[in-house]
Amino acid sequence: MSMKIRLARGGSKKRPFYRIVAADSRMPRDGRYVEKLGTYAPLLPKDSEDRVKMDAERIAYWLSKGAQPTERVQRMLEAAGISPKTERNNPTKGTPGKKAAARVEEKAAKAAAAAEAAAAPAEAPAEEAAAE
């Protein structure tokens, strides 16, 4: 039986609330689970201590038994200091698309033209004063 530590959604429509659970990986997201390990309330402010509550001892137990945390739960465990921080690499996800790259180039060109225009009048009076 392969175990996962994952989020099970609760709460009403547009008001999410999650339980952090240890469940068989074959069970549905909100289906049967073996043990409730904590809660996650994403609507609370990020600095609230009630936003993420976990039973660290039980999570460590399930990790020792081979349970695999999902990506989101792994991030929560890293933030809590329960598991070591892992390096993630997704180089194509962060690169801008064609239109965004074109907008950046256009903005850079406008900024360069504005800087050049601002520098040109400042040099002109200095040249006139030197000519006199």
Q: What is the pLDDT along the chain (132 residues), one digit of tens a residue?
A: 789 999 999 999 999 999 999 999 999 888 899 999 999 999 999 999 999 999 999 999 999 999 999 999 999 999 999 888 888 887 787 788 899 999 999 999 999 998 888 887 655 555 555 555
pLDDT at 69: 94
Query: What values do phi and psi take at 47, rounded to 5?
Result: -90, 0
In the block, residue with structure tokens 């049967």: 32
β-pairing, 52-54 with 35-40?
antiparallel
Q: In the prediction, which pLDDT does 44 show?
A: 94
Instruction: State residue 10 phi and psi, 5-degree precision.
Output: -135, -165
The conformational region for residue 14 under phi > 0 = left, psi -120 to 50 = alpha, else beta, is left
Q: For residues 17-55, b (16+ Cβ closer than 10 Å) or e, as one string?
A: bbbbbbbeeeeeeeeebeeebbbbbeeeeeeeeeebebe
What pLDDT does 119 receive?
Answer: 81
- Choose among 66, 8, 71: nearest CA to 35: 8
Where residue 38 falls (left for φ over 0; alpha for ψ -120 to 50; beta otherwise) is left
Burial class (CB in 10 A: 0-12, 13-18, 19+), 62: buried
